């Protein structure tokens, strides 16, 4: 190894002891090789100084997008538990923080609920919602508590040309910290000069101070033939693009090489996930067949542009996800791909979007052979439907048209914004007549 890891640890100690008013350190931890090395070096550095000098809290922040590869989630969770236990055992000022997107920001609510097309380079709506916002919320919370915070990142100059440029651009000569775009936040990248070879040599030779060894990490990388998806805290962090452990639903990359490699290397239970991912690409690109010709809220779109997924496609994707979940749960891997809160939120969103021909509970009950009810939401709309059916003399087409119009009106009421209501109602009517003509 050319690089002197002890020297890096001494730099970390120097930086840790530097402040009169110790600003908290926030370590972005993704469970991948870079953030693992970073945490290990910080931990070792801290172990070398006396307990009395542990004046600064260290937060190990790990974000779960809720659509991470389940195999990787399982591995990360076990690592985090070991870190938590070791921190208590060794009385270290290290705290594990798990962040996740808000319900309204989750991947499935936006894709299946609102019909957002699967992400692409042109419309990458997910990174901010799934990755940047949850960690930023925690960082800003700490800043408002402590005044300032220092974010430690496992970025390395040889990782990619973009990352090298990004590090160079922000480094202030002679200083270890660079300014982050969040007010009162600074970035410290202690392992920026370590090459990938040096990193692997170190991890294979030195066991983690929280116990165990790095064999599973090495095997995962080997089997997934992959790089990792770093903690993403702003748009300059190269996220999620090329080969890495990222969201299993990611359609920004043309092929998920890491998932394909894991399947080839014995994780056959992931096949339904790979199929869903491929279907998402197909549904996104086959615009004419799968997407609406109007935007959300029945907004007219310029020629050649397409809106959200059609109701039938949203419903079909949900069916695929629940079927995959059911299949996987018959295997030892067992996992949850979509939560019950997301299912309820999707149903509410469908009602808001005027989708009454598909019901989340019907899809769920068909797959799980259950009699699951969505509580007050289903009941309320069932009553409304019965009443409308009576008024419309059982003419189902008119019931649906009125329901769609009511949904537009209710959405406007919720937003306390009546402007454009008439236009939107006219658009609903036009769309209804077009659909009727086609039948």
Candidate residues 73, 87, 189, 240; the one interacting with ligand SF4 per rule CB under 6 A: 240
> Based on CB atoms, which residue is closest to ligand SF4, 130 or 346?
130
Tell me the site size for ligand SF4, rule CB under 6 A. Answer: 15
Site string for ligand SF4, 157-196 (x = CB under 6 A): ----------------------------------------
Rounded to whole angstroms, how far apart are CA atoms 310 and 330? 31
Q: Among candidates 181, 156, 143, which has minimal Cα distance to 36?
A: 156
* Helices of type H across 253-395: 257-264, 271-285, 287-290, 311-328, 340-352, 360-368, 376-391
Dihedral of the alpha carbons of 336, 338, 344, 346, in degrees to the nearest 10:
-170
Q: How many angstroms separate the CA atoms of 233 and 151, rounded?
A: 10
- Taking the C-alpha atoms of residue 273 and residue 276, their distance in angstroms, rounded to an integer, is 5
Question: In this structure, how many other beta carbons lie within 10 angstroms of the beta carbon of residue 24?
Answer: 20
- In the bound state with ligand SF4, the residue whose beta carbon lies nearer, of 121 and 422, is 121
Token representation of residue 315: 């419903």
Cβ of residue 246: shortest distance to ligand SF4, in angstroms? 3
Q: Is 239 in the site for ligand SF4 (CB under 6 A)?
A: yes
Which of 232/388 has CB closer to ligand SF4?
A: 232
**Based on the number of CB atoms within 10 Å of its own CB, is 2 exposed (0-12), middle (13-18) or buried (19 or more)?**
exposed
> Shortest Cβ contact with ligand SF4: which residue?
240
Give the shortest CB-232-to-ligand SF4 separation in angstroms: 7
Q: What is the dihedral of CA 305, 116, 32, 209, to 10 degrees?
A: 150
Q: Tell me: does residue 31 bind ligand SF4 (CB under 6 A).
A: no
Question: Which positions from 65 through 124 interact with ligand SF4, judged by CB under 6 A?
Answer: 65, 119, 124
CB of 336 to ligand SF4, least distance (A): 18
Q: Which of 44, 63, 69, 127 binds ligand SF4 (CB under 6 A)?
A: 127
Q: How far is CA 382 from CA 83, 265, 369, 413, 426, in A?
A: 49, 48, 21, 21, 25
Stretch of residues binding ligand SF4 (CB under 6 A), selected from 79-87, 207-215, 239-247, 398-406: 239-247
Q: Name the residue nearer to ligand SF4 (CB basis): 130 or 328.
A: 130
| Kind of pairing between the strands at 185-188 and 177-179 | antiparallel
The string of DSSP codes covering 121-169 is SS---HIIIIIIHHHHHHHHHHHHHHS-EEEE----TTS-HHHHHHHHH
Strand, coil or helix: 280: helix
Which range binds ligand SF4 by CB under 6 A, 46-54, 173-181, 238-246, 287-295?
A: 238-246
Q: Please give the residues from 210 up to 229 whose contact with ligand SF4 meets the rule CB under 6 A.
A: 229
Is residue 126 part of the contact set for ligand SF4 (CB under 6 A)? yes
Comparison of 126 and 149: residue with beta carbon closer to ligand SF4: 126
Q: Compare residues 36 and 237 and give the one whose CB is closer to ligand SF4.
A: 237
In the complex, which residues of this chain contact ligand SF4 (CB under 6 A)?
65, 119, 124, 126-127, 130-131, 229, 239-240, 246-247, 249-250, 252
């Amino acid at each position: 190894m050319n690089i002197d890891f002890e020297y890096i640890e001494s730099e970390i100690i120097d930086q840790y002891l530097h402040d009169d008013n110790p600003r908290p350190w926030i370590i972005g931890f993704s469970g991948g090789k870079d953030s693992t090395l970073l945490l290990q070096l910080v931990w070792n550095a801290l172990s070398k100084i006396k307990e009395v000098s542990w004046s600064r809290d260290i937060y190990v922040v790990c974000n779960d997008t809720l659509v991470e590869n389940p195999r990787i989630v399982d591995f990360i969770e076990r690592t985090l538990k070991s870190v938590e236990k070791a921190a208590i055992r060794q009385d270290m000022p290290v705290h594990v923080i798990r962040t996740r997107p808000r319900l309204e920001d989750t991947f499935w609510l936006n894709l299946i609920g609102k019909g957002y097309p699967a992400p692409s380079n042109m419309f990458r709506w997910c990174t901010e919602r799934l990755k940047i916002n949850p960690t930023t919320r925690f960082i800003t919370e700490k800043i408002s508590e402590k005044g300032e915070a220092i974010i430690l990142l496992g970025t390395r100059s040889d990782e990619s040309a973009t990352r090298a440029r990004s590090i160079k651009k922000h480094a202030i000569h002679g200083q270890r910290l660079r300014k982050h775009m969040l007010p009162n936040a600074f970035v410290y990248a202690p392992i920026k000069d370590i090459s990938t070879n040096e990193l692997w040599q170190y991890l294979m030779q030195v066991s983690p101070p929280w116990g165990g060894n790095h064999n599973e990490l090495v095997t995962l990388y080997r089997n997934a033939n992959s790089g990792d998806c770093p903690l993403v805290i702003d748009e300059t962090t190269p996220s999620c693009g090329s080969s890495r452990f990222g969201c299993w639903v990611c359609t920004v990359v043309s092929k998920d090489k890491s998932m394909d490699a894991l399947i080839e290397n014995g994780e056959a239970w992931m096949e339904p996930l790979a199929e869903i991912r491929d279907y998402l690409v197909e549904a996104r690109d086959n615009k004419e067949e799968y997407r609406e010709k109007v935007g959300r809220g029945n907004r007219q779109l310029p020629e050649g542009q397409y809106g959200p997924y059609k109701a039938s496609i949203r419903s079909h994707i949900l069916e695929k996800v629940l079927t995959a979940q059911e299949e996987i749960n018959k295997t030892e891997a067992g996992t949850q791909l979509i939560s019950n809160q997301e299912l309820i939120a999707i149903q509410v969103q469908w009602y808001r979007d005027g989708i009454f021909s598909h019901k989340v509970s019907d899809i769920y009950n068909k797959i799980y052979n259950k009699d699951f009810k969505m509580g007050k939401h289903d009941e309320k709309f069932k009553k409304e439907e019965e009443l409308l059916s009576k008024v419309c003399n059982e003419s189902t087409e008119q019931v649906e048209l009125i329901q769609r119009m009511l949904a537009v009106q209710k959405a406007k009421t919720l937003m306390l914004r009546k402007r454009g209501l008439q236009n939107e109602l006219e658009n609903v009517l036009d769309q209804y007549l077009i659909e009727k003509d086609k039948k």
